[in-house]
Amino acid sequence: MTRNYKISVVIATYNRSRSVRRILGALSEQTFPSDQYEVIISIDGSNDETHATVDSYESEYELRSIWHPNSGRASACNRGIRAATGEIIVILDDDMEPAPGLLAAHYDLHKSRSGLGAVGAVPIKVGEASPPVVRYVGAKFNSHLDKISAPGYSMRIRDFYSGNFSIGREDMLRHGMYNEEFKIYGNEDVELAYRLLKAGIDLVYSAEALCIQNYDKDFAGLAKDTVSKGKNAVLLCTKYPDAFSELKLAEYNTSGWKWRMLRYILIQAGVMVPATGDAVVSIVGFIQSLKINNRNFVEKIYPLALDYLFWLGVWSALKSDKNADGLIERIKSCNNS
């Protein structure tokens, strides 16, 4: 007999068994009654020990896993949502470490009102021994949390993330869940937020629904994600042209002319010779290995390299899109300075 729970926690994962074990442990410490929530690990084609980790984990809450060949986060989340039975869906990324009151905070929000999507706090853990990339991403994202947590702030699509997100299961099913056209990293969250806001779902931020985020990628991993985000920004904007002004695509001409000229040359080189982007990542890695004033390096070099990599992803996607002429002109003409 299928049991209906108050909360279904859905976690999509790919080859991160240690992270899965950590989040399962944190979910065992919840103040929310363990017989009122289930945890579904949606394994996206992992070939590490994730399946065995879940199968052998002993928990007081209902725990199960589903496995499918690798097809991306959007698809993996959707499989977990379809398998869920809870009134409320809580979506967590596998690098999260939920605070004990996380599930109670999400549930209380939905108990007080309907038609709600709640984005929980996900500060990135940063310490003195953290690598430069973690310090950079942590400072940037934690600043973003300060912005969206301000009293009276209205969340926009670009503010949204679903690494710690809750919504009524029926609302999620009714509004189409994640778009599975987004197979690589990035902007599947933004696309979801666009549709939810259009449908009248109120997106709110909750500091009480807290997870600590354990960011563990190196610069090469961050670079790969950034290129993918550029590609998916094009996909999103071709689907919803009116979202353009809210995306980074509208900021192509906002930097200084010298950087724009150098970036243009590097983009053209990267589109024609894909190894150019890899070379930029390698150069950044080499300079970083010298450990010469790392903090100054992070503050000055990372933003330039990542800006280039994002636009490399954009122009790579535009080159392969036969119907992109209108979007190209829109990007070039926006915010000329």
Lowest mean per-residue pLDDT among 1-15, 53-67, 216-230: 1-15
What's the whole-number mean pLDDT along residues 4-19?
96
> What's the rounded Cα separation, in Å, for the pair 287 and 269?
21
Please, which pLDDT band fits residue 320 given cuts at 50, 70 and 90? Answer: confident
Instruction: Tell me the pLDDT of the chain averaged across its residues.
Output: 93
Neighbours of 161 (CB within 10 A): 19
Give me the pLDDT at residue 37, please. Answer: 98
Give me the pLDDT at residue 132, please. Answer: 87
Q: In the predicted model, is pLDDT for residue 2 greater than 70? A: no
Answer yes or no: are the C-beta atoms of 141 and 149 closer than 8 Å: no
pTM of the model: 0.93
Q: Which CATH superfamily is domain 7-213 in?
A: Spore Coat Polysaccharide Biosynthesis Protein SpsA; Chain A (3.90.550.10)
CA distances from 125 to 128, 142, 149, 270 (A): 11, 10, 18, 33
Pair of tokens at residue 231: 């590609």
Residue in 233, 211, 259 with CA at minimum distance from that of residue 318? 233
> What's the rounded Cα separation, in Å, for the pair 209 and 255?
36
Give me the pLDDT at residue 300, please. Answer: 83
What's the whole-number mean pLDDT along residues 139-164?
94
Q: Which residues have a Cβ under 8 Å from the Cβ of 129 and sit 6 or more positions away?
A: none
Neighbours of 188 (CB within 10 A): 24
Q: Between these two residues, 58 and 321, which has the higher pLDDT value?
A: 58
Please, which pLDDT band fits residue 99 given cuts at 50, 70 and 90? Answer: very high
Would you kindly state where each structural domain of the chain is located, as residue ranges?
A: 7-213, 219-333
Percent of the chain with pLDDT over 90: 85
Give me the pLDDT at residue 23, please. Answer: 98
Q: In the predicted model, is pLDDT for residue 336 greater than 60? A: no
Host H or E run for residue 11: strand 7-13
What's the whole-number mean pLDDT along residues 235-259?
94
Give me the pLDDT at residue 3, please. Answer: 74
Lowest mean per-residue pLDDT among 209-213, 269-273, 325-329: 325-329
| Residues 280-284: contacts with CB under 8 Å, at least 24 apart | 280/223, 280/305, 280/308, 280/309, 281/219, 281/220, 281/223, 281/305, 281/309, 284/219, 284/223
Q: Where are the alpha helices (DSSP H) in 177-293?
A: 188-198, 219-239, 257-272, 275-289
What's the whole-number mean pLDDT along residues 301-305?
93
Please, which pLDDT band fits residue 337 given cuts at 50, 70 and 90? Answer: very low
